[in-house]
């Protein structure tokens, strides 16, 4: 099948260097996996994007001209004009190369992406983020009315988008290459926070609860919100709370296996939580606030602990019990979200959409 993948324009996707977690990792694995199964995959993304076995179209889209999504704010984006121009260029290429694709699959959390792709058929938009921005929700709802299909990465996030007014009927869970993640039967004594450093991920909460539990913490991930890092995270760093920066996938997977637990004290309804699957694949329990898709990923009491949202006392108590978790059970649970299962789900949806025209 011929599949055109439309990526967020701010992303430079490189499957050799990309860090674990999030939509970028998913897109790289999805594109490479589909290509390995014999599909013709075309990637439309920022200049410099590349994935093994995939044709990346050069459209002159400079990632430096685009800003990451600002979660939880409905204000007009500072790069709205650049976004609209960029996605118009993508849509024009797709319209002019209709023989190059049978299905368009978009992964952008940007109102201009929904608007620009609206005339095309068939189109599926995967919603990787929560429905926090009213203009984006409105654009997604308009795309559905025009015939697009909305999918999300968990049942919880699909329900949230539907409740917000953008009917989301498909669930396409993320997946990881579990076999590529080294399993550790013993772990270590330190705790780990992995993910982007931003308010909704709660890195400052991770430092507080780890310190109260008397455990050292390593934080790994790119700084997404530098103001938040400087004001809320950096002042808490010390010998028992170290920021390791963004790490390559294999390096972070080794660190996961050497950790006693992964901490996900999220301050929002996490749409999925790919690092939770990666940590369990390494044998590492997950302690998280029971929010969003994390409830679907962590088996409470068996592969980690889910505690009431924002209850730091309960989080500390759970951290003191991580030694009770069977690390082999964590690995077994991760096998529910493999790359193969993810690819199977996408192929089924693509085939159905292509048949429907």
CA distance readout (Å), 345 to 25, 42, 90, 175: 17, 19, 25, 10
CATH of the domain at 131: 3.40.50.2000
32 plus 153 within the same structural domain: yes
CA distance readout (Å), 18 to 14, 184, 273, 293: 6, 23, 16, 23
56 plus 191 within the same structural domain: no
pLDDT of 151 > 80? The answer is: yes
pLDDT at 188: 94
Query: Structure tokens of 116?
Result: 């620009």
| 62: three-class secondary structure by DSSP | coil
Confidence class of residue 254 from pLDDT cuts 50, 70 and 90? very high
164 plus 60 within the same structural domain: yes
Phi, psi at residue 156, to the nearest 5°? -65, -45
Q: Does residue 160 contact residue 130 with C-beta atoms inside 8 Å?
A: yes
320 plus 188 within the same structural domain: yes
* Digit-coded pLDDT (tens) for 285-339: 999 999 999 999 999 999 999 999 999 999 999 999 999 999 999 999 999 999 9
pLDDT at 19: 59
Cα of first residue to Cα of last residue in the chain, in angstroms, is 13
Query: Structure tokens of 85?
Result: 């121009």
15 plus 137 within the same structural domain: yes
345 plus 330 within the same structural domain: no
213 plus 247 within the same structural domain: yes
Which H or E element spans position 176? Answer: none
pLDDT at 224: 87
* Digit-coded pLDDT (tens) for 16-68: 666 555 677 788 899 999 999 999 999 999 898 888 899 999 999 987 787 76
**Interior CA angle at 235 toward 243 and 272, to 5°?**
50
Specify the number of domains making up the chain: 2
Long-range interactions of 208-213: CB distance < 8 A, separation 24+:
208/236, 208/312, 209/263, 209/265, 209/312, 209/315, 209/316, 209/319, 210/240, 210/241, 210/263, 210/319, 211/240, 211/241, 212/312, 212/316, 213/316, 213/319, 213/320
312 plus 163 within the same structural domain: no
Give the residue from 279, 278, 301, 281 showing the smallest Cα distance to 290: 301
pLDDT at 20: 55
Name the least confident of 22-36, 120-134, 140-154, 235-249: 22-36
pLDDT of 72 > 60? The answer is: no
| 116: three-class secondary structure by DSSP | helix
Dihedral, CA of residue 174, residue 178, residue 180 and residue 185, to nearest 10 = 140
80 plus 93 within the same structural domain: yes
pLDDT of 11 > 80? The answer is: no
Name the least confident of 8-22, 143-157, 238-252: 8-22
* Digit-coded pLDDT (tens) for 164-202: 999 999 999 999 999 999 999 999 999 999 999 999 999
Name the least confident of 77-81, 176-180, 280-284: 77-81
* Digit-coded pLDDT (tens) for 82-132: 899 999 999 999 999 999 999 999 998 889 999 999 999 999 999 999 999
102 plus 251 within the same structural domain: no
The beta strands (E) that lie in the chain are given as 2-6, 40-44, 55-57, 103-106, 123-127, 149-152, 170-171, 191-194, 217-220, 241-245, 261-264, 286-289, 304-307
Q: Choose between 10 and 293: higher pLDDT.
A: 293
Distance from chain centroid for Cα 234: 24
Q: What is the residue range of 56's domain? A: 2-175+338-356
Confidence class of residue 69 from pLDDT cuts 50, 70 and 90? low
Give the residue from 130, 87, 93 showing the smallest Cα distance to 111: 87
pTM of the shown model: 0.92
157 plus 249 within the same structural domain: no
CA distance readout (Å), 279 to 149, 197, 263: 31, 18, 10
pLDDT of 13 > 70? The answer is: yes
Query: Structure tokens of 323?
Result: 């030694």
pLDDT of 265 > 70? The answer is: yes
b/e for 29-52, b at 16 or more Cβ within 10 A?
Answer: bbbbbbbeeebbbbbbbbeebbbe
168 plus 230 within the same structural domain: no
Give the residue from 129, 64, 58, 125 showing the smallest Cα distance to 89: 58
């Amino acid at each position: 099948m011929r599949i055109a993948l439309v990526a967020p324009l701010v992303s430079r996707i490189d499957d050799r260097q990309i860090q674990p977690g999030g939509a970028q990792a998913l897109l790289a694995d999805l594109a490479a996996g589909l290509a390995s199964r014999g599909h013709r995959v075309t990637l439309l993304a920022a200049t410099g994007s590349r994935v093994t076995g995939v044709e990346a179209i050069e459209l002159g889209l400079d990632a430096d001209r685009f800003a990451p999504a600002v979660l939880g704010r409905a204000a007009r984006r500072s790069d709205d004009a650049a976004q609209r121009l960029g996605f118009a260029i993508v849509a024009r290429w797709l319209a002019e190369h209709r023989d190059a694709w049978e299905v368009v699959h978009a992964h952008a959390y940007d109102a201009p992406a929904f608007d620009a792709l609206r005339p095309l058929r068939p189109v599926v938009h995967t919603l990787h983020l929560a429905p926090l921005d009213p203009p984006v929700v409105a654009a997604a709802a308009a795309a559905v009315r025009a015939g697009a299909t909305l999918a999300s990465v968990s049942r919880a996030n699909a329900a949230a988008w539907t409740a917000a007014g953008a009917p989301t009927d498909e669930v396409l869970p993320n997946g990881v290459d579990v076999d590529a993640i080294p399993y550790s039967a013993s772990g270590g004594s330190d705790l780990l926070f992995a993910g982007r450093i931003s308010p909704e991920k709660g890195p400052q909460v991770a430092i507080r609860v780890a310190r109260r539990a008397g455990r050292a913490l390593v934080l790994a991930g790119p700084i997404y919100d530098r103001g938040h890092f400087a004001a809320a995270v950096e002042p808490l760093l010390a010998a028992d709370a170290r920021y390791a920066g963004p790490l390559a996938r294999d390096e972070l997977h080794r660190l996961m296996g050497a950790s006693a637990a992964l901490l996900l004290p999220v301050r929002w309804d996490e749409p999925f939580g790919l690092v939770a699957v990666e940590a369990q694949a390494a044998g590492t329990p997950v302690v998280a606030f029971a929010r969003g898709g994390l409830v679907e990923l962590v088996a409470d009491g068996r592969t980690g602990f889910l505690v009431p949202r924002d209850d730091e006392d309960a989080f500390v108590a759970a951290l003191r019990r991580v030694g009770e978790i069977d690390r082999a059970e964590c690995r077994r649970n991760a096998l529910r979200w493999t790359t193969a299962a993810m690819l199977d789900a996408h192929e089924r949806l693509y085939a159905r959409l292509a048949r429907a025209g």
